[in-house]
Amino acid sequence: MRNKGILNTFIAVLAATLFFYGISTFGALAFSQASTTVFGDQTYVGPYDISNQKEREALEKLTTGFSELQSAFSVNLAYQDAVVALPEELVRLDAEQTIERAKSGEENPIVAAVSIDGLRTVLTQQFAPVDVDEDSLYSIASGIERELGTGVMPLTVYITDYMAYPEWKEEEIASSTLSVQNPSRSLQQLIHELDGTEMVPFSSFSLLDRMQEEGGNPVADGELTILASTLYTLVLQTNFEVNERSIGNRLSPAVEPGFEAAINQSLGVNFSFTNPNKSAFTLHIKLTGNTIQTSLTGIPLLYEYTPYMTEKETYQPKAIRHFSAFMPTGKIRVEYEGKEGVEVSVSRLISYGGVELEDEWISSDFYAPQPRIELHALEKDEQQNSSNPSDGIENLEENGPSAESDQLEGAPDQQNDREPAEEVQYDKGGNIIN
Protein backbone atom coordinates (compact mmCIF):
# COMPACT_ATOMS: atom_id res chain seq x y z
CA MET A 1 0.00 0.00 0.00
CA ARG A 2 2.80 2.36 0.88
CA ASN A 3 4.58 1.69 -2.42
CA LYS A 4 1.30 2.28 -4.26
CA GLY A 5 0.93 5.73 -2.59
CA ILE A 6 4.45 6.70 -3.54
CA LEU A 7 3.79 5.59 -7.10
CA ASN A 8 0.63 7.69 -7.29
CA THR A 9 2.46 10.75 -5.99
CA PHE A 10 5.24 10.23 -8.53
CA ILE A 11 2.73 9.93 -11.35
CA ALA A 12 0.97 13.14 -10.23
CA VAL A 13 4.23 15.11 -10.06
CA LEU A 14 5.31 13.72 -13.44
CA ALA A 15 1.99 14.66 -14.99
CA ALA A 16 2.20 18.21 -13.60
CA THR A 17 5.77 18.54 -14.85
CA LEU A 18 4.80 17.39 -18.32
CA PHE A 19 1.82 19.77 -18.29
CA PHE A 20 3.83 22.90 -17.39
CA TYR A 21 6.60 21.83 -19.77
CA GLY A 22 4.08 21.50 -22.52
CA ILE A 23 2.56 24.89 -21.74
CA SER A 24 5.95 26.62 -21.70
CA THR A 25 7.05 24.84 -24.89
CA PHE A 26 3.82 25.75 -26.62
CA GLY A 27 4.13 29.39 -25.49
CA ALA A 28 7.72 29.63 -26.68
CA LEU A 29 6.74 28.03 -29.98
CA ALA A 30 3.79 30.36 -30.35
CA PHE A 31 5.91 33.43 -29.68
CA SER A 32 8.57 32.08 -32.04
CA GLN A 33 5.98 31.76 -34.76
CA ALA A 34 4.45 35.10 -33.89
CA SER A 35 7.85 36.75 -33.96
CA THR A 36 7.84 36.35 -37.70
CA THR A 37 5.03 38.95 -37.78
CA VAL A 38 6.19 42.42 -38.82
CA PHE A 39 4.53 45.53 -37.47
CA GLY A 40 3.35 47.93 -40.14
CA ASP A 41 4.04 51.61 -40.61
CA GLN A 42 3.04 54.10 -37.92
CA THR A 43 3.18 51.55 -35.11
CA TYR A 44 4.12 53.05 -31.78
CA VAL A 45 4.30 51.95 -28.16
CA GLY A 46 4.28 55.00 -25.99
CA PRO A 47 7.18 57.11 -27.30
CA TYR A 48 8.82 54.13 -29.05
CA ASP A 49 8.57 53.59 -32.81
CA ILE A 50 8.41 49.88 -33.68
CA SER A 51 7.32 50.31 -37.28
CA ASN A 52 8.54 47.66 -39.74
CA GLN A 53 10.07 45.56 -36.98
CA LYS A 54 9.51 41.93 -36.16
CA GLU A 55 7.98 41.23 -32.80
CA ARG A 56 11.23 39.85 -31.40
CA GLU A 57 13.12 42.94 -32.54
CA ALA A 58 10.40 45.16 -31.11
CA LEU A 59 10.55 43.24 -27.83
CA GLU A 60 14.28 43.83 -27.54
CA LYS A 61 13.82 47.53 -28.26
CA LEU A 62 11.09 47.91 -25.66
CA THR A 63 13.04 45.93 -23.07
CA THR A 64 15.95 48.34 -23.43
CA GLY A 65 13.68 51.37 -23.53
CA PHE A 66 11.68 50.28 -20.48
CA SER A 67 14.89 49.74 -18.55
CA GLU A 68 15.97 53.32 -19.30
CA LEU A 69 12.51 54.60 -18.48
CA GLN A 70 12.51 52.76 -15.17
CA SER A 71 15.88 54.27 -14.24
CA ALA A 72 14.47 57.78 -14.92
CA PHE A 73 11.21 56.98 -13.13
CA SER A 74 9.43 60.11 -11.85
CA VAL A 75 5.78 59.72 -10.88
CA ASN A 76 4.02 61.83 -8.25
CA LEU A 77 0.70 61.25 -6.55
CA ALA A 78 -1.28 64.41 -5.82
CA TYR A 79 -4.18 64.93 -3.45
CA GLN A 80 -5.33 68.55 -3.41
CA ASP A 81 -2.33 70.52 -2.08
CA ALA A 82 -0.19 67.48 -1.16
CA VAL A 83 2.19 65.79 -3.62
CA VAL A 84 4.28 62.69 -2.85
CA ALA A 85 6.57 60.53 -4.96
CA LEU A 86 5.48 57.04 -6.03
CA PRO A 87 8.34 54.60 -5.33
CA GLU A 88 9.81 53.06 -8.49
CA GLU A 89 9.71 49.53 -7.09
CA LEU A 90 5.90 49.60 -6.97
CA VAL A 91 5.65 49.75 -10.76
CA ARG A 92 6.66 47.19 -13.39
CA LEU A 93 6.68 47.94 -17.11
CA ASP A 94 5.87 44.70 -18.97
CA ALA A 95 7.49 44.54 -22.41
CA GLU A 96 6.13 41.09 -23.35
CA GLN A 97 2.53 41.98 -22.52
CA THR A 98 2.93 45.26 -24.37
CA ILE A 99 4.08 43.47 -27.56
CA GLU A 100 1.36 40.85 -27.21
CA ARG A 101 -1.36 43.53 -27.04
CA ALA A 102 0.15 45.89 -29.61
CA LYS A 103 -1.81 46.47 -32.80
CA SER A 104 -0.03 47.17 -36.05
CA GLY A 105 -0.34 50.64 -37.50
CA GLU A 106 -1.66 52.18 -34.27
CA GLU A 107 -0.45 54.04 -31.20
CA ASN A 108 -0.32 51.53 -28.37
CA PRO A 109 0.04 52.09 -24.62
CA ILE A 110 2.75 50.67 -22.44
CA VAL A 111 1.43 47.88 -20.23
CA ALA A 112 2.26 48.66 -16.61
CA ALA A 113 1.42 46.88 -13.36
CA VAL A 114 1.14 48.62 -9.97
CA SER A 115 1.54 46.78 -6.68
CA ILE A 116 -1.75 47.07 -4.78
CA ASP A 117 -0.18 46.37 -1.39
CA GLY A 118 2.60 48.86 -1.97
CA LEU A 119 0.16 51.52 -3.15
CA ARG A 120 -2.04 50.95 -0.10
CA THR A 121 0.97 51.53 2.16
CA VAL A 122 1.93 54.77 0.40
CA LEU A 123 -1.60 56.18 0.55
CA THR A 124 -2.04 55.23 4.20
CA GLN A 125 1.25 56.78 5.27
CA GLN A 126 1.26 59.90 3.11
CA PHE A 127 -2.46 60.74 3.00
CA ALA A 128 -3.53 59.56 6.43
CA PRO A 129 -6.58 61.86 6.78
CA VAL A 130 -7.96 60.65 3.43
CA ASP A 131 -10.32 57.69 3.62
CA VAL A 132 -9.36 55.44 0.69
CA ASP A 133 -11.54 52.33 0.49
CA GLU A 134 -10.69 49.19 -1.52
CA ASP A 135 -12.70 50.26 -4.55
CA SER A 136 -10.87 53.56 -4.65
CA LEU A 137 -7.54 51.78 -4.14
CA TYR A 138 -8.00 49.57 -7.19
CA SER A 139 -9.36 52.46 -9.19
CA ILE A 140 -6.31 54.58 -8.38
CA ALA A 141 -3.97 51.71 -9.31
CA SER A 142 -5.72 51.30 -12.67
CA GLY A 143 -5.54 55.04 -13.25
CA ILE A 144 -1.79 55.08 -12.60
CA GLU A 145 -1.32 52.17 -15.03
CA ARG A 146 -3.30 53.94 -17.75
CA GLU A 147 -1.41 57.21 -17.35
CA LEU A 148 1.91 55.37 -17.43
CA GLY A 149 0.91 54.08 -20.87
CA THR A 150 2.20 57.23 -22.53
CA GLY A 151 5.71 56.71 -21.20
CA VAL A 152 6.01 60.45 -20.47
CA MET A 153 8.08 61.43 -17.43
CA PRO A 154 7.74 63.22 -15.07
CA LEU A 155 4.11 62.35 -14.43
CA THR A 156 1.65 63.65 -11.83
CA VAL A 157 -1.40 61.50 -11.09
CA TYR A 158 -4.28 63.22 -9.29
CA ILE A 159 -5.82 60.48 -7.19
CA THR A 160 -9.07 62.41 -6.75
CA ASP A 161 -9.77 61.59 -10.42
CA TYR A 162 -10.06 57.90 -9.52
CA MET A 163 -11.52 57.85 -6.03
CA ALA A 164 -14.85 56.04 -6.17
CA TYR A 165 -16.88 58.20 -3.80
CA PRO A 166 -20.54 58.74 -4.70
CA GLU A 167 -20.09 62.41 -3.83
CA TRP A 168 -17.50 64.60 -2.20
CA LYS A 169 -18.18 66.14 1.17
CA GLU A 170 -17.47 69.85 0.86
CA GLU A 171 -16.32 71.86 3.86
CA GLU A 172 -15.43 75.46 4.60
CA ILE A 173 -11.74 75.83 3.82
CA ALA A 174 -11.17 79.44 4.91
CA SER A 175 -13.01 82.65 5.83
CA SER A 176 -12.31 86.35 6.36
CA THR A 177 -14.19 89.57 7.20
CA LEU A 178 -13.60 93.32 6.87
CA SER A 179 -15.69 96.39 7.68
CA VAL A 180 -16.74 98.93 5.08
CA GLN A 181 -18.39 102.22 6.06
CA ASN A 182 -21.70 103.00 4.38
CA PRO A 183 -21.35 100.54 1.47
CA SER A 184 -22.73 101.90 -1.79
CA ARG A 185 -25.48 100.20 -3.74
CA SER A 186 -22.99 99.50 -6.52
CA LEU A 187 -20.80 97.56 -4.08
CA GLN A 188 -23.80 95.69 -2.74
CA GLN A 189 -24.81 94.69 -6.27
CA LEU A 190 -21.28 93.57 -7.14
CA ILE A 191 -21.03 91.41 -4.02
CA HIS A 192 -24.39 89.85 -4.86
CA GLU A 193 -23.14 88.99 -8.37
CA LEU A 194 -19.85 87.52 -7.12
CA ASP A 195 -21.45 85.35 -4.43
CA GLY A 196 -21.35 81.69 -5.44
CA THR A 197 -18.51 82.03 -7.96
CA GLU A 198 -17.19 78.55 -8.83
CA MET A 199 -13.42 78.17 -9.01
CA VAL A 200 -13.04 75.19 -11.33
CA PRO A 201 -9.67 73.35 -11.43
CA PHE A 202 -6.78 75.56 -12.55
CA SER A 203 -9.07 78.55 -13.17
CA SER A 204 -8.32 82.19 -12.26
CA PHE A 205 -10.37 84.95 -10.67
CA SER A 206 -9.79 88.61 -11.60
CA LEU A 207 -11.76 91.26 -9.73
CA LEU A 208 -11.67 93.92 -12.45
CA ASP A 209 -12.42 91.38 -15.19
CA ARG A 210 -15.43 90.10 -13.28
CA MET A 211 -16.68 93.67 -12.83
CA GLN A 212 -16.57 94.18 -16.58
CA GLU A 213 -18.35 90.89 -17.18
CA GLU A 214 -21.14 91.77 -14.75
CA GLY A 215 -21.50 95.25 -16.25
CA GLY A 216 -22.89 96.89 -13.11
CA ASN A 217 -22.58 100.46 -11.92
CA PRO A 218 -19.10 101.82 -11.12
CA VAL A 219 -17.68 101.10 -7.68
CA ALA A 220 -15.20 103.43 -5.95
CA ASP A 221 -11.57 102.29 -5.69
CA GLY A 222 -11.70 102.55 -1.90
CA GLU A 223 -14.58 100.07 -1.62
CA LEU A 224 -12.98 97.74 -4.16
CA THR A 225 -9.74 97.84 -2.17
CA ILE A 226 -11.56 96.68 0.96
CA LEU A 227 -13.28 93.89 -1.00
CA ALA A 228 -10.01 92.82 -2.62
CA SER A 229 -8.21 92.90 0.75
CA THR A 230 -10.88 90.62 2.21
CA LEU A 231 -10.35 88.17 -0.66
CA TYR A 232 -6.56 88.41 -0.27
CA THR A 233 -6.77 87.51 3.42
CA LEU A 234 -9.01 84.58 2.44
CA VAL A 235 -6.65 83.31 -0.26
CA LEU A 236 -3.62 83.39 2.05
CA GLN A 237 -5.30 80.67 4.14
CA THR A 238 -5.21 78.26 1.18
CA ASN A 239 -2.74 77.02 -1.41
CA PHE A 240 -4.27 79.31 -4.04
CA GLU A 241 -1.71 81.27 -6.06
CA VAL A 242 -1.83 85.09 -6.04
CA ASN A 243 -1.28 86.42 -9.57
CA GLU A 244 -1.71 90.18 -9.07
CA ARG A 245 -1.58 92.15 -5.83
CA SER A 246 -0.49 95.71 -5.06
CA ILE A 247 -0.60 98.20 -2.20
CA GLY A 248 -1.64 101.86 -2.24
CA ASN A 249 0.10 105.01 -1.03
CA ARG A 250 -2.14 105.18 2.01
CA LEU A 251 -3.44 102.24 4.01
CA SER A 252 -7.17 102.10 4.62
CA PRO A 253 -8.03 102.15 8.34
CA ALA A 254 -10.19 99.06 7.79
CA VAL A 255 -7.28 96.96 6.47
CA GLU A 256 -4.57 95.41 8.60
CA PRO A 257 -1.02 96.30 7.43
CA GLY A 258 0.43 93.54 5.29
CA PHE A 259 -2.95 92.30 4.10
CA GLU A 260 -3.96 95.04 1.67
CA ALA A 261 -4.81 94.42 -1.97
CA ALA A 262 -5.25 97.85 -3.54
CA ILE A 263 -7.42 98.53 -6.58
CA ASN A 264 -6.93 101.48 -8.93
CA GLN A 265 -9.19 101.20 -11.95
CA SER A 266 -7.70 104.12 -13.89
CA LEU A 267 -4.19 102.63 -13.60
CA GLY A 268 -5.34 99.03 -14.10
CA VAL A 269 -4.16 97.97 -10.62
CA ASN A 270 -5.96 94.66 -10.12
CA PHE A 271 -6.20 91.69 -7.78
CA SER A 272 -6.35 88.14 -9.14
CA PHE A 273 -5.61 84.57 -8.01
CA THR A 274 -5.68 80.98 -9.32
CA ASN A 275 -6.99 77.65 -8.04
CA PRO A 276 -4.07 75.20 -8.58
CA ASN A 277 -6.02 72.13 -7.42
CA LYS A 278 -7.69 69.41 -9.47
CA SER A 279 -10.98 70.00 -7.66
CA ALA A 280 -13.45 72.90 -7.73
CA PHE A 281 -14.13 75.40 -4.95
CA THR A 282 -16.99 77.82 -4.37
CA LEU A 283 -16.41 81.44 -3.38
CA HIS A 284 -19.02 82.91 -1.04
CA ILE A 285 -19.26 86.70 -0.52
CA LYS A 286 -21.92 88.40 1.56
CA LEU A 287 -22.54 91.86 2.97
CA THR A 288 -24.07 91.91 6.44
CA GLY A 289 -24.60 95.47 7.61
CA ASN A 290 -21.21 97.11 7.21
CA THR A 291 -19.26 93.85 7.17
CA ILE A 292 -18.01 91.98 4.11
CA GLN A 293 -17.90 88.23 4.81
CA THR A 294 -16.05 85.85 2.50
CA SER A 295 -15.52 82.09 2.66
CA LEU A 296 -14.31 79.25 0.44
CA THR A 297 -15.88 75.78 0.38
CA GLY A 298 -14.71 72.59 -1.28
CA ILE A 299 -12.88 69.32 -0.72
CA PRO A 300 -10.65 69.82 2.36
CA LEU A 301 -6.99 70.57 1.81
CA LEU A 302 -4.43 68.34 3.46
CA TYR A 303 -2.25 71.14 4.84
CA GLU A 304 -3.14 74.10 7.05
CA TYR A 305 -2.08 77.62 6.06
CA THR A 306 -1.73 80.34 8.72
CA PRO A 307 -0.59 83.82 7.59
CA TYR A 308 0.85 86.12 10.24
CA MET A 309 2.78 89.36 10.63
CA THR A 310 6.45 88.73 11.37
CA GLU A 311 7.84 92.25 11.69
CA LYS A 312 6.40 95.73 12.09
CA GLU A 313 8.31 99.01 12.29
CA THR A 314 6.79 102.47 12.49
CA TYR A 315 8.22 105.80 11.34
CA GLN A 316 7.16 109.10 12.93
CA PRO A 317 6.14 111.90 10.55
CA LYS A 318 8.27 115.03 10.19
CA ALA A 319 6.85 118.54 10.47
CA ILE A 320 6.69 120.87 7.50
CA ARG A 321 6.28 124.57 8.34
CA HIS A 322 4.48 126.96 6.02
CA PHE A 323 4.61 130.72 6.68
CA SER A 324 1.93 133.35 6.02
CA ALA A 325 1.87 137.10 6.55
CA PHE A 326 -1.82 136.87 7.39
CA MET A 327 -1.30 134.60 10.38
CA PRO A 328 -1.40 136.40 13.78
CA THR A 329 1.97 136.68 15.45
CA GLY A 330 2.76 133.73 17.70
CA LYS A 331 -0.07 131.61 16.34
CA ILE A 332 0.32 128.18 14.72
CA ARG A 333 -2.38 126.42 12.77
CA VAL A 334 -2.11 122.66 12.09
CA GLU A 335 -3.41 122.04 8.59
CA TYR A 336 -2.73 118.27 8.62
CA GLU A 337 -1.84 116.15 11.60
CA GLY A 338 0.23 113.75 9.51
CA LYS A 339 0.39 110.00 9.79
CA GLU A 340 3.13 107.68 10.90
CA GLY A 341 4.69 105.34 8.35
CA VAL A 342 4.80 101.59 8.74
CA GLU A 343 6.79 98.69 7.32
CA VAL A 344 5.50 95.15 7.80
CA SER A 345 6.53 91.67 6.73
CA VAL A 346 4.08 88.80 6.38
CA SER A 347 4.85 85.08 6.37
CA ARG A 348 2.76 81.92 6.40
CA LEU A 349 3.07 78.72 8.40
CA ILE A 350 2.29 75.51 6.53
CA SER A 351 1.51 72.62 8.86
CA TYR A 352 0.25 69.06 8.70
CA GLY A 353 -1.47 67.42 11.63
CA GLY A 354 -0.24 70.15 13.95
CA VAL A 355 3.39 69.77 12.81
CA GLU A 356 4.98 72.81 11.17
CA LEU A 357 6.43 71.90 7.78
CA GLU A 358 7.43 75.28 6.35
CA ASP A 359 7.55 78.95 7.26
CA GLU A 360 6.96 80.69 3.93
CA TRP A 361 7.76 84.37 3.33
CA ILE A 362 4.86 86.18 1.63
CA SER A 363 5.58 89.92 1.33
CA SER A 364 7.08 93.10 2.78
CA ASP A 365 4.98 96.27 2.54
CA PHE A 366 6.07 99.84 3.22
CA TYR A 367 3.87 102.90 3.70
CA ALA A 368 5.82 106.17 3.88
CA PRO A 369 4.99 108.54 6.75
CA GLN A 370 2.83 111.54 5.85
CA PRO A 371 4.30 114.78 7.25
CA ARG A 372 2.57 117.08 9.73
CA ILE A 373 1.83 120.43 8.08
CA GLU A 374 1.89 123.59 10.23
CA LEU A 375 1.06 127.17 9.22
CA HIS A 376 3.17 129.80 11.08
CA ALA A 377 3.09 133.60 11.19
CA LEU A 378 5.92 135.60 9.69
CA GLU A 379 8.10 137.43 12.24
CA LYS A 380 8.08 141.25 12.21
CA ASP A 381 11.51 141.61 10.62
CA GLU A 382 10.61 139.00 8.08
CA GLN A 383 7.40 140.87 7.17
CA GLN A 384 9.36 144.10 6.56
CA ASN A 385 12.00 142.42 4.45
CA SER A 386 9.55 140.25 2.58
CA SER A 387 9.19 141.22 -1.05
CA ASN A 388 6.03 139.17 -1.34
CA PRO A 389 3.73 139.72 1.65
CA SER A 390 1.12 137.31 0.37
CA ASP A 391 0.70 133.78 1.74
CA GLY A 392 3.44 131.39 0.71
CA ILE A 393 5.02 128.08 1.49
CA GLU A 394 8.35 129.16 2.85
CA ASN A 395 10.82 127.72 5.29
CA LEU A 396 13.37 130.40 6.17
CA GLU A 397 15.80 127.83 7.45
CA GLU A 398 15.85 126.22 4.02
CA ASN A 399 16.44 129.50 2.10
CA GLY A 400 20.06 129.67 3.19
CA PRO A 401 21.93 132.54 4.92
CA SER A 402 21.16 136.16 3.88
CA ALA A 403 23.71 138.70 2.68
CA GLU A 404 23.63 140.36 6.09
CA SER A 405 24.37 137.11 7.81
CA ASP A 406 27.22 136.51 5.40
CA GLN A 407 28.89 139.67 6.65
CA LEU A 408 28.31 138.72 10.23
CA GLU A 409 29.90 135.40 9.60
CA GLY A 410 33.05 136.82 8.05
CA ALA A 411 32.16 137.87 4.52
CA PRO A 412 34.59 140.47 3.06
CA ASP A 413 33.85 144.13 3.90
CA GLN A 414 35.69 146.97 2.07
CA GLN A 415 35.69 149.29 5.06
CA ASN A 416 37.01 146.61 7.31
CA ASP A 417 39.85 145.95 4.89
CA ARG A 418 41.22 149.57 5.27
CA GLU A 419 43.90 150.41 7.85
CA PRO A 420 42.27 151.91 10.97
CA ALA A 421 42.71 155.70 11.43
CA GLU A 422 44.77 157.04 14.39
CA GLU A 423 42.56 157.60 17.41
CA VAL A 424 42.04 161.34 18.45
CA GLN A 425 42.20 162.23 22.18
CA TYR A 426 40.64 165.27 23.94
CA ASP A 427 41.19 166.87 27.35
CA LYS A 428 38.45 167.88 29.80
CA GLY A 429 38.05 171.23 28.06
CA GLY A 430 37.49 169.67 24.68
CA ASN A 431 40.90 170.57 23.31
CA ILE A 432 42.81 168.16 21.14
CA ILE A 433 45.80 166.61 22.78
CA ASN A 434 48.68 166.29 20.36
CA 301 vs. chain centroid, Å, equals 15
11-15, 285-289, 356-360, 399-403: range with lowest mean pLDDT: 399-403
pTM for this structure? 0.74
Over residues 53-68, mean pLDDT: 94
Q: What is the pLDDT of residue 35?
A: 54
User: What's the rounded Cα separation, in Å, for the pair 341 and 150?
Assistant: 57
User: What's the rounded Cα separation, in Å, for the pair 408 and 422?
Assistant: 25
Read off the pLDDT of residues 387-397 as tens digits, 9 standing for 90 and up: 444 444 344 33
Number of structural domains found in the chain? 3
Read off the pLDDT of residues 419-428 as tens digits, 9 standing for 90 and up: 444 444 444 4
Whether the predicted pLDDT of 24 surpasses 50: no
Single out the residue in 145, 161, 177 at which a domain terminates: 161
- Sheet strands side by side (includes 44-45): 48-49, 44-45, 107-108
Q: What is the pLDDT of residue 390?
A: 43
Strands 75-79 and 155-158, sheet pairing: parallel
Same domain, 77 and 134: yes
Beta-carbon contacts of 243 under 8 Å, excluding residues fewer than 6 positions away, are 204, 206, 272, 273, 274
Over residues 23-29, mean pLDDT: 45
Read off the pLDDT of residues 226-258 as tens digits, 9 standing for 90 and up: 999 999 999 999 999 999 999 999 998 999 999
Confidence of residue 166 (pLDDT cuts 50, 70, 90): low
User: What's the rounded Cα separation, in Å, for the pair 324 and 415?
Assistant: 37
CATH number of the domain residue 322 falls in: 2.20.230.10
Residue 256 counted as domain residue: yes
What is the span of the domain harbouring residue 67? 27-161
Q: What is the pLDDT of residue 230?
A: 98
Residue 12 counted as domain residue: no
Same domain, 35 and 108: yes
Residue 21 counted as domain residue: no
Read off the pLDDT of residues 188-197 as tens digits, 9 standing for 90 and up: 999 999 999 9
User: What's the rounded Cα separation, in Å, for the pair 269 and 254?
Assistant: 19
CA distances from 55 to 31, 70, 107 (A): 9, 22, 15
Residue 16 counted as domain residue: no
Same domain, 174 and 284: yes
Residue 433 counted as domain residue: no
Strands 112-114 and 91-93, sheet pairing: antiparallel
User: What's the rounded Cα separation, in Å, for the pair 410 and 7?
Assistant: 135
Same domain, 240 and 318: no
Residue 280 counted as domain residue: yes
